[in-house]
Amino acid sequence: MDFLAHLGMGFGIALTPFNLMMAVAGVMVGMLIGALPGVGPPSGVAMLLPLTFGMEPTSGIIMLAAMYAGTMYGGTITSVLINTPGESASVVTCLDGYQMALQGRAGPALGIAAIGSFIAGTIGVVLLMLVSPLLARWSLSFGPPESFALMLLGLTTVTLLGGDDPLKGYISMVFGLMLAMVGFDIISGDARYGFGIPEMMDGVDFLPVAIGLFGLGEVLAGAEQKDAGSQVKGKLRLREVLPSLADWAKSRWAIARGTVLGFAVGVLPGAGPTVASFLSYTVEKKVSKTPQSFGKGAIEGVAAPESANNAAATAAMVPMLTLGIPGSATTAIMLGGLMMWGLRPGPMLFEKNPQFVWGLIASQYIANVMLLFASTALIPLFVRALRIPYSILMPLIILFCVTGAYSLKNSLWDVGQMLVFGVVGYFMKKLGYSPAALVLALVLGPLAERSLRQSLIISDAGIGIFFTRPISAVLMVLALAAIAVPLAKWGRTLLSRTQSAT
Amino acid sequence: MASLIRLFAPAVAFSVLGSFLTEPLAQVYPAKPVTFVVPFSPGGGTDISARTVAAKLTQKWHQSVIVENRAGAAGILGADAVAKARPDGYTLLIVNVGITSINPTLYPKLPYDPDKALTPISLICELPFVLMASPSFKPNSVRELVAFAKANPDKVTYASSGQGGSPHLTAELFQLATGTRLTHVPYKGGGPAMTDLMAGHVDLLFASVLEGSGHIKAGKLKGLAVTHAKRSPALPEVPTLAEAGVKNAESGSWIALLAPAATPAAIIDKVAADVKDAVAAPDVREKLIAQGAVPQASTPKELQALIEKDRERYGRIIREKGLKPE
DSSP of B176-210, one letter per residue? HHHT---EEEE-SSHHHHHHHHHHTSSSEEEEEHH
Which residues of B fall within a CB distance of 8 Å from A53? 51, 55
Q: Please, are residues A125 and A133 in contact by the beta-carbon 8 Å criterion?
A: no
Cα dihedral A275→A276→A277→A279 (10° resolution): 80
Evaluate if residue A231 carries a pLDDT over 60.
Answer: no
Distance separating alpha carbons of residues B174 and B241, to the nearest angstrom: 9
B76 touches A at CB < 8 Å: yes
Nearest chain B residue to A328 by CA: give it. Answer: B191
Evaluate if residue B103 carries a pLDDT over 90.
Answer: no
Cα dihedral B160→B162→B163→B167 (10° resolution): -50
Question: Closest Cα to residue B254, out of B300, B301, B303, B215?
Answer: B303
Confidence of residue A345 (pLDDT cuts 50, 70, 90): low
B313 touches A at CB < 8 Å: no
Which residues of A fall within a CB distance of 8 Å from B80? 198
pLDDT at A79 (0 to 100):
87
For residue A231, give the 3-state DSSP assignment. coil
Determine, for residues B218 and A334 on separate chains, whether the beta-carbon distance falls below 8 Å. no
Q: Which B positions 254-283 lie with beta carbon below 8 A of chain A?
A: none
A144 touches B at CB < 8 Å: yes
**What's the gap in Å between the CA of B158 and the closest CA on chain A?**
10
Residue scoring higher pLDDT (B172 or A58): B172
Evaluate if residue A189 carries a pLDDT over 80.
Answer: no
Predicted confidence (pLDDT) per residue in A248-260, tens digit: 888 999 999 999 9
Evaluate if residue B161 carries a pLDDT over 60.
Answer: yes
Q: Please list the residues that pair with B123 across neighbouring strands.
A: B256
- What crossing angle do the helices spanning A57-82 and A329-340 adopt, rounded to 10°? 160
Chains A & B: contacts with CB separation below 8 Å? 144
Q: Which B positions 279-308 lie with beta carbon below 8 A of chain A?
A: 286-287, 290-291
**What's the gap in Å between the CA of B269 and the closest CA on chain A?**
28
Q: Please, are residues B127 and B208 in contact by the beta-carbon 8 Å criterion?
A: yes
Determine, for residues B163 and A337 on separate chains, whether the beta-carbon distance falls below 8 Å. no
**What's the gap in Å between the CA of B124 and the closest CA on chain A?**
16
Determine, for residues B109 and A196 on separate chains, whether the beta-carbon distance falls below 8 Å. yes
Cα A290–Cα A117–Cα A325 angle in degrees, nearest 5: 115
Nearest chain B residue to A342 by CA: give it. Answer: B290
Determine, for residues A198 and B220 on separate chains, whether the beta-carbon distance falls below 8 Å. no
Distance separating alpha carbons of residues B94 and B90, to the nearest angstrom: 13
Residue scoring higher pLDDT (A342 or B53): B53
Q: Which A positions 48-87 lie with beta carbon below 8 A of chain B?
A: 49-50, 53
A198 touches B at CB < 8 Å: yes
Q: Please list the residues that pair with B131 across neighbouring strands.
A: B206, B225
Q: Please, are residues A262 and A307 in contact by the beta-carbon 8 Å criterion?
A: yes
DSSP type of residue A433:
-
Evaluate if residue B18 carries a pLDDT over 50.
Answer: no
**What's the gap in Å between the CA of B323 and the closest CA on chain A?**
7
Cα dist from B287 to A71, A290, B50, B58, whole Å? 30, 58, 11, 16
- The burial of B50, by beta-carbon neighbours within 10 Å (0-12 exposed, 13-18 middle, 19 or more buried), is given as buried
Determine, for residues B43 and A336 on separate chains, whether the beta-carbon distance falls below 8 Å. yes
B203 touches A at CB < 8 Å: no
A189 touches B at CB < 8 Å: yes
Among partner residues A46, A189, A199, which is closest to B43 by beta-carbon distance?
A46
- What crossing angle do the helices spanning A2-14 and A354-384 adopt, rounded to 10°? 60
For residue A318, give every residue at least 6 positions away whose Cβ sits within 8 Å of its Cβ, in sequence order, or none.
A128, A132, A135, A136, A139, A266, A267, A327
Determine, for residues A340 and B187 on separate chains, whether the beta-carbon distance falls below 8 Å. no
Distance separating alpha carbons of residues B101 and B110, to the nearest angstrom: 13
Among partner residues A201, A339, A410, which is closest to B70 by beta-carbon distance?
A410
Q: What's the whole-number average pLDDT of chain B?
A: 84
Q: What are the E-state strand segments in A355-489?
A: none
- The burial of A326, by beta-carbon neighbours within 10 Å (0-12 exposed, 13-18 middle, 19 or more buried), is given as buried
A102 touches B at CB < 8 Å: no
B42 touches A at CB < 8 Å: yes
A416 touches B at CB < 8 Å: no
Cα dihedral A339→A340→A341→A347 (10° resolution): 0
Distance, C-alpha A427 to centroid of its chain: 25
Q: Which of B66, B110, B132, B195 to mutate to test the interface with A (most CBs of A within 10 A)?
A: B195
Distance separating alpha carbons of residues A51 and A56, to the nearest angstrom: 11
pTM above 0.90, yes or no: no
- Amino acid type, B215: H
Residue scoring higher pLDDT (B75 or B259): B259
Percent of chain B with pLDDT over 70: 90
Cα A50–Cα B292–Cα B193 angle in degrees, nearest 5: 90
Predicted confidence (pLDDT) per residue in A429-479, tens digit: 888 888 888 988 888 888 889 889 999 988 888 888 899 998 899 989 988
Q: Which of B37, B38, B41 to mutate to test the interface with A (most CBs of A within 10 A)?
A: B41
Predicted confidence (pLDDT) per residue in B293-321, tens digit: 888 888 888 988 988 888 888 888 888 87
Q: What are the E-state strand segments in B28-117?
A: 34-38, 65-69, 91-96
Question: Closest Cα to residue A232, out of A339, A100, A361?
Answer: A100
Which residues of B fall within a CB distance of 8 Å from A454? 185-187
pLDDT at A258 (0 to 100):
94
Evaluate if residue B20 carries a pLDDT over 80.
Answer: no
For residue A26, give every residue at least 6 positions away whose Cβ sits within 8 Å of its Cβ, in sequence order, or none.
A48, A62, A63, A64, A65, A66, A67, A69, A70, A367
Give the strand order in the sheet containing B129-133.
Answer: B183-186, B157-160, B204-208, B129-133, B222-226
Determine, for residues B51 and A340 on separate chains, whether the beta-carbon distance falls below 8 Å. yes
For residue A302, give every residue at least 6 positions away whose Cβ sits within 8 Å of its Cβ, in sequence order, or none.
A80, A93, A96, A97, A100, A109, A112, A113, A116, A251
Evaluate if residue A292 carries a pLDDT over 80.
Answer: yes
| ipTM (interface pTM) | 0.75
Best-predicted range by mean pLDDT among A5-19, A78-92, A382-396, B175-189?
B175-189
Query: Taken in order B274, B251, A320, A450, is the CA torsion positive or negative?
Result: positive
Q: What is the rounded average pLDDT of the residues B43-57?
A: 82
Confidence of residue A484 (pLDDT cuts 50, 70, 90): confident
Query: Taken in order A469, A475, A476, A481, is the CA torsion positive or negative?
Result: positive
Q: What is the rounded average pLDDT of the residues A10-22?
A: 83
- What crossing angle do the helices spanning B265-280 and B282-290 adopt, rounded to 10°? 70
pLDDT at B25 (0 to 100):
54
Determine, for residues A198 and B76 on separate chains, whether the beta-carbon distance falls below 8 Å. yes
- What crossing angle do the helices spanning A57-82 and A106-140 adopt, rounded to 10°? 130
Q: Which of A146, A454, A468 to mutate to test the interface with B (most CBs of B within 10 A)?
A: A454
Cis amide bond preceding A243, omega within 30: no
Among partner residues B191, B196, B287, which is closest to A332 by beta-carbon distance?
B191
